[in-house]
Structure 1
Amino acid sequence: MKFTILTTILLLLTSFNSFAYQKEIDKFFQLYEAGKVTDAVDSIYSTNKWILQKTDDIQNVKTQLQSLQSLVGEYHGKVKLGSEDLKDRLVYVSYLTMFERQPVRLEFVFYRPKEDWVIYSFSFDDTIDDELTDFSRKRIIGWLKGS
């Protein structure tokens, strides 16, 4: 009985710790969707004291993300494309955000050097349509060869 309780507690703690980065992403989107773009960027970077030393880079991200709506139109939501975990130490999470003019991909990479997850990198781009085209062409060619 004690073993079962201990095992359950350990699994819950591991599970909680493994997905702590998702709480940071959710907080980012909550702020972003409320129109608080700079707060969203500050929030996601607040997990890593080393990145905070790159104030010019962070300001550049804030400026670019703030001007995004003027380039691609109104924000209409997000879809999680997926994630990839490397040995519960490094995780990549990708989102597709929908704007009036075009989609934009947001990418979060978190690193866990000890117990806590910290943001390792955050980026966004609008090249996902090019990648989708290339991927689709390769799949179609592969299917044609297999026929």
Structure 2
Amino acid sequence: MKKINTKRFFFGLILMTGIICSLYDANAQTATPAKPVTAKPAVAKAPAVKSATAIIDTFFKKYKDDGTSPAIDYLFATNKLFTDSVQIGVLKGKLDALRQSVGTYTGKELIAQKIAAPSLVFYSYLVKHEKSPIRFTFMFYKPKNEWVLYRFKYDDQMDTELEDAGKINNKH
């Protein structure tokens, strides 16, 4: 029986393993050539799910660029349950009249953000105009996968609240 030189055997085994690995790696790189990028036919995509803050940002962009009515229409369109166009029309008319009395929109600042639950959030904004501010409050609800407007309010009574908050012991 022939005696096997273990050093040569292991050296050969390592050498063969290295060769096999390098051949396998070369095949892996060339076996599946990259497919050329081709234009795919237009397929209607589902609209991207927007976060509550993305809805607010779009609302304020429309409020600044397009006016009160398109901004309100966009906001209320997020919830198909808001179907009373008469009440929405009254809201738009009152807000537009207030907006005309306070001057040009100049920006917004977040006053408060509250998360009641992962599916119910509240945002309050100081909406800056040339003459005086307005406060907008938004409440959004996520019944399934998408955020929808749950409540929207506006007022111009922040100065009264601040004065009341500054009273001793908060009593009148």
Query: Shorter chain as normaliser: what TM range?
Result: 0.7 to 0.9
Alignment partner of 2:88: what SS?
Answer: helix
Alignment partner of 1:116: what SS?
Answer: coil
1:86 aligned residue (116, 122, 128): 116
Q: CA deviation at 1:36?
A: 2.6
1:47 aligned residue (70, 75, 78): 78
1:117 counterpart residue number: 147
Measured in 2, the distance between the counterparts of 1:95 and 1:117 equals 18
Q: CA deviation at 1:114?
A: 1.6
Aligned residues, how many?
A: 123
TM-score normalised by L of structure 1: 0.76
* Higher helix proportion: 1
Q: Sequence identity of aligned pairs in percent?
A: 34
2:131 counterpart residue number: 101
Bigger RCO (CA 8 Å, 6+ sep)? 1
Q: CA deviation at 1:113?
A: 1.4
Q: CA deviation at 1:80?
A: 1.0
Between 69-78 and 41-50, the greater mean CA deviation after superposition: 69-78
Show CA shifts across 1:24-50 (max 9, x none). Answer: 000000011113321111111111000
TM-score normalised by L of structure 2: 0.66
1:130 counterpart residue number: 160
Measured in 2, the distance between the counterparts of 1:23 and 1:124 equals 19
Show CA shifts across 1:29-86 (max 9, x none). Answer: 00111133211111111110001x1111110111112222321122221111121011
2:23 counterpart residue number: none
Matched to 2:141, the amino acid is: Y
Measured in 2, the distance between the counterparts of 1:69 and 1:124 equals 11
1:35 counterpart residue number: 66
Measured in 1, the distance between the counterparts of 2:167 and 2:66 equals 37
Kindly report structure 1 stretches of 4+ aligned residues shifted beyond 2 Å.
none
| TM-align CA RMSD | 2.0
Alignment partner of 1:110: what SS?
Answer: strand
Measured in 2, the distance between the counterparts of 1:87 and 1:46 equals 23
